[in-house]
A and B are shown apart, each in its own frame.
Chain A
Amino acid sequence: MATKTVEPNRRDFMTIAAGSFAAVGGAAALWPFIDQMNPDASTLSLATVEVDLAPIEEGQSITVSWRGKPVFIRYRTSAEIEESRSVKLDDLADPVARNENVGDSAPATDQNRVNVKNEKMLVMIGICTHLGCIPKGQRVGDEKGEYGGWFCPCHGSHYDTAGRIRKGPAPRNLDVPAYDYISETKIKIG
């Protein structure tokens, strides 16, 4: 009357097949839960901003917001440009231009950091390439660092008047975003 229970073989191939098939589906089902944290459609669509440069005077800086990041725009003086151009490439900590509008391997000359249509106007993302703080140097009274450009107070990175890293822990020059002149005095970033 008592039924003998056969010790079940837990490695039955059908069970393994079903288990693997379920595991594949389960793994695929994880993707929506991960991908939902990526920037959504409305965020991705807000990719451009237009800036009127006409009101900026020589020697003045403004900061605009693009994709939630500060963009530094400085109308540089001739002295600042002169100083930047006199630097030898060998003296630079990062010899690459880091400008999305020129090639990936373009050298970090002053000309490669700006747009040929207006070499006085320097446009770059104002985020220290070390750990993401906002460097000082935009406002009149700010400390501008040893090279007269920008100085990051978090860990002491010094940028020159072309936004290139000269001293301190930051690994790269400040990034120049993709932008173009849509008129004489207007640029479109992104």
Chain B
Amino acid sequence: MAHASSYKPNTAIAKWFDVRLPIMRLMHDQLQDFPTPRNLNYLWTFGGILTFFLVVQLATGIVLAMHYVPHESMAFDSVERIMRDVNWGWLLRYMHSNGASMFFLAVYIHIARGMYYGSYKAPREVLWVLGVFLFLAMMATAFMGYSLVWGQMSFWAVTVITNLFSSLDSIVPGLGTTVVQWIWGGFAVGGPTLTRLFSLHYLLPFVIVGLVILHIWALHVPGNNNPTGIDIKTKSDAVPFHPYYTLKDAYALCLFVILFMGFVFYAPNFLGDPVNYEQADPLQTPPHIVPEWYFLPFYAILRAIPDKLFGVIAFAGSIGLLAFLPWLDTSKVRSTRYRPIYKWFFALFIIVVLALGYLGAKPAEGVYLLFSRIGTALYFGHLLVVLPVLGWFEKPSAMPGSITDDVLGKGSGGSRPSAASASPGRR
């Protein structure tokens, strides 16, 4: 899209197709010849890794659904039947459950990379917002999938999270209760709830596929950002996607799959909560409710707020605010590499998120609660105060003149970020 097509159909069939459905041209231009900055580091391989895990989750999920029974009295046992009797069932199920964790690990690195290098700034706002939608869809899918096991943690996670909607009662009395009963299909979480969660868990991944296509489209219009945040100016700044980045992505993917398979084969239950191996019991809550690790930071924020409604608002806001990042950040420089002050705030933000993750696994009391509140304040402070304010007075450090200069080690002390090319579309 951003470059002239170099595709030349060389067989009669290829020519025939090219004037009717130029799919080969699309593949050639977007996946083979696409001009990609030559300086992308390994953090840029996580887009490909995420695509791979989407495929893994879809493939294992579709075959698991062939054996799973979404019924309140049979769901738990059907999962165990998959683990014991279905050919390779244990492998497929452990791949699916650990694949979800790997998916989130990869998406967090992907998001952090986007934030560090300012990949959300103009002209990539739509790309970023689509990414936030993808993240939300992923969270919903993972949550529903976890509920299907119908263990104690599944059941009580559904109960607690669906009950968040009852906070609407404090706006319009009765509304929350009505909504929650509508979600449950009853007066408590039960069989009807499980069946609809299963239906939606099967549906949402295809919504994710659609969003991913839009996300890649929105990426290929402006092209990739890169560690310098400087746009491609000359031909020497870019390399064709294939074979340079196909091989680099494949290598990084292989390393990541080693981590994934290490979990699957040698610690398949390490990332899960043991309590979920107890069948759901609607009459007894486990002594300590914890979500899966990838929800912990947001769970800590939810619990840090003493008011039910405001807790829910903070919980939703902690994710929803990410969509406004392109407009909250006022800096003219994309890459944090050239932002001497923001660098430290970014590091603090990462530490805050990790700390919130730690606190989310701890009981909401005493010193843990205090730190959760401090962490929540810092989280929102970063998004709502640091990002808008810092951009106005931070003096960026010297930037190289171009991507090529950066790669070849020239140009330190070259141009200033006021150079038109480095400014993200504010002209």
Contacts and interface: CB of A to CB of B under 8 A. Distances in A.
A31 B250 CA distance: 22
Contacts of B91: 32
Interface in B410-424: 410
Contacts, number: 62
B248 interface: no
Interface residues of B, number: 29
A140 interface: no
Contact of B87 (A1, A22, A32): A32
Given A1-B410, A4-B236, A5-B235, A40 B87 contact: yes
B89 A40 contact: yes
Interface residues of A, number: 22
B239 interface: yes
A37 B81 contact: no
Interface stretch (B59-67, B174-182, B224-232): B59-67
B404 interface: yes
A68 interface: no
Interface in A1-29: 1-5, 8, 10, 12, 15, 18, 22
A152 B243 CA distance: 62
B186 to A, nearest CB: 32
A41 B67 CA distance: 13
A151 B175 CA distance: 64
B27 to A, nearest CB: 14
Contacts of B244: 8
At the interface, is chain B mostly helix, strand, loop or mixed? helix
Contacts of B87: 32, 35-36, 38, 40-41
A22 B88 CA distance: 21
B250 A3 contact: no
Nearest to B90: A32
A5 B239 contact: yes
A121 to B, nearest CB: 35
Contact of A33 (B63, B67, B410): B63
B8 interface: no
A2 B88 contact: no
Contacts of B242: 10
A105 interface: no
A10 B243 CA distance: 7
A22 B236 CA distance: 31
A2 B236 CA distance: 6
Nearest to A32: B88
A42 B67 CA distance: 13
A33 to B, nearest CB: 6
5 contacts: A2-B234, A18-B247, A33-B92, A36-B88, A41-B84
Interface of B: 59-60, 63, 66-67, 81, 84-89, 91-92, 234-236, 239-240, 242-244, 247, 250, 404-405, 407-408, 410
* Closest 8 A/B residue pairs (Cβ): A32-B88, A41-B85, A3-B236, A40-B85, A2-B236, A42-B85, A35-B87, A40-B86
Given A1-B405, A42-B81, 10 more contacts: A5-B239, A15-B247, A18-B250, A32-B88, A32-B92, A33-B63, A36-B66, A36-B88, A36-B92, A40-B81
